[in-house]
Chain A
Amino acid sequence: MHPWFSKLLDAYRPAAQHRARTDGPPFVAGPMHAPGPPVQPVPFFSIPSGGSPVNVHSPVAFFHAPHSRSGITRAMLEELGIPYDLVTLNLKAGEQRTPDYLAINPMGKVPAIRHEDVLITEQPAILMYLADLYPKKHLAPSMGDPLRGAYLRWMVFYGSCFEPAMMDFSAKRAPVPPIQCGYGDYDSVMQVLAAQLKHVQQNQGPWLLGECFSAADVLWGGALNYGLMFKLVPDWPVFRDYARRVQARPAVRRAFEMDEALAAEQARELDGALAA
């Protein structure tokens, strides 16, 4: 059995041993190949039936790889302070392209989460789902809040405009004519984002929506941090200062540090496997 898949099965056992908690007893690693009931991952196109509400106390299974976009989802889970079962993929070993994982996300990408029987992919979708499911954590403007529209707009703008524009820039591709595409060109996307950040900072507060920190900041703080690191966004003070502010939050910091440790562990494992 592929080692990653046995880890996945481990994570799905009721008393999961990979649950990351911010409190409670210290983490004790369980046996990696302990026998358990066979659990099939839910194929990505299975449809949950509606009805009784989601049990917010059931842990989220989180498909994750360090040094990838899914660090943002880890920061979100830490901000929420909810239990989650970590299922780690080693991207350097190509674990995101195994048939088992493609059944979860056919795009072969992390992050993905499974909550009860529901699989969710696409980072903004995961963040919006979680923020709305835990309203007491105040990470999304509630329905009826005038900021709800702006919140949704910036969550979607990340996937529909910012990421494609960064890809064009990264691959040095000419932009698609504005009439055909939803995102215009790289320069306008960056300027629109910078203008929003400047506007709120001068008039309303330090975060994307002004005074209230939200899941949009988890997303954009992480995205700009990543973009600056790989020189995919302009090195403007407004981006630097904002990314630094988000990264300074204890939960974001915690997610980052745990990922550094996880990346080092994966590198050792991969070296070990290659040497064997």
Chain B
Amino acid sequence: MNPSSDLVLFHNPHSRAAMTRALLEELGVEYALRVLDFRKNEQLAPEYMAINPMGKVPAILHKGTLVTETVAIYIYLADVFPQAHLAPALDDPQRGTYVRWLVFYAACFEPAVGDRAMKREPAPRAQSPYADFDTTINAITSALKPGPWLLGERFSAADVLWGNALRWLTGFGMVEATPVVADYIARVMARPAEQRAIKADEALAAEMGLTG
């Protein structure tokens, strides 16, 4: 990999950063990896904390622009590489729906799944912006139902995010693989770019001695 690339992904194959790698493969752009080894707490080293003070991957560096937060990275990259047609233009009627479901993932789904994973009581409904797990999973399931993609006939970066997130969470048994969810995951994962990302991260994990 070219270390002087215009686009660098701060990465760990066994983390949420895998979702960003999948997007990079879908975009078909050249990128370099900076792999952080969690066993050595490299994500908490001062060098990396200067990049993301939350000590989390992913982060990307693109021509001097630093972006953290998976969903922010998704919006940024899909817009910056319009030739891949993974984001509706800023004045496209589908733009609002697209941004809505991307943000919903970060602002509602992840925190609600976190509550469920920890077996915590959801925060009071009147105060919490993300209600509870059942409400969030029902909302996204209804949005996926018409299909085949979140924007109907049009595949977008939002599908890369949700396909990968749901694959990961159903894999851990955190989300039930109902027919709507399972079919959607299968549709996303059948894409060659997704297969490429999975294989590349499996190879990387093996190289790092993370498997076995």
Contacts and interface: CB of A to CB of B under 8 A. Distances in A.
Query: What size tier do the contact residues of chain A reach?
Result: 35 or more
B139 A107 contact: yes
A76 to B, nearest CB: 14
B99 A176 contact: no
B93 A49 contact: yes
Nearest to B54: A184
B62 A149 contact: yes
Given A50-B151, A143-B80, A182-B16, A159 B129 contact: yes
Interface of B is mostly: mixed
B75 to A, nearest CB: 5
B129 A171 contact: no
A33 B89 CA distance: 39
A109 B136 CA distance: 12
- Interface range on chain B (Cβ under 8 Å from partner): 35 or more
B189 interface: no
Which of B90, B92, B135, B139 has most chain A Cβ within 10 Å? B90
B107 A163 contact: yes
Given A54-B92, A117-B93, A171 B151 contact: no
A249 B209 CA distance: 55
Contact of A149 (B56, B67, B103): B67
A38 interface: no
B79 A143 contact: yes
Contacts of A155: 72
A180 B117 CA distance: 9
Given A47-B97, A47-B150, A143-B79, 18 more contacts: A47-B146, A50-B93, A113-B96, A117-B93, A120-B97, A122-B100, A125-B99, A133-B91, A149-B72, A149-B76, A150-B65, A153-B66, A153-B72, A157-B72, A163-B107, A170-B127, A171-B124, A173-B120
Interface of B: 16, 38, 53-56, 62, 64-73, 75-76, 79-80, 88-97, 99-100, 102-104, 106-108, 110-111, 114, 117-118, 120-121, 123-131, 135-136, 138-139, 142-143, 145-146, 150-152, 154
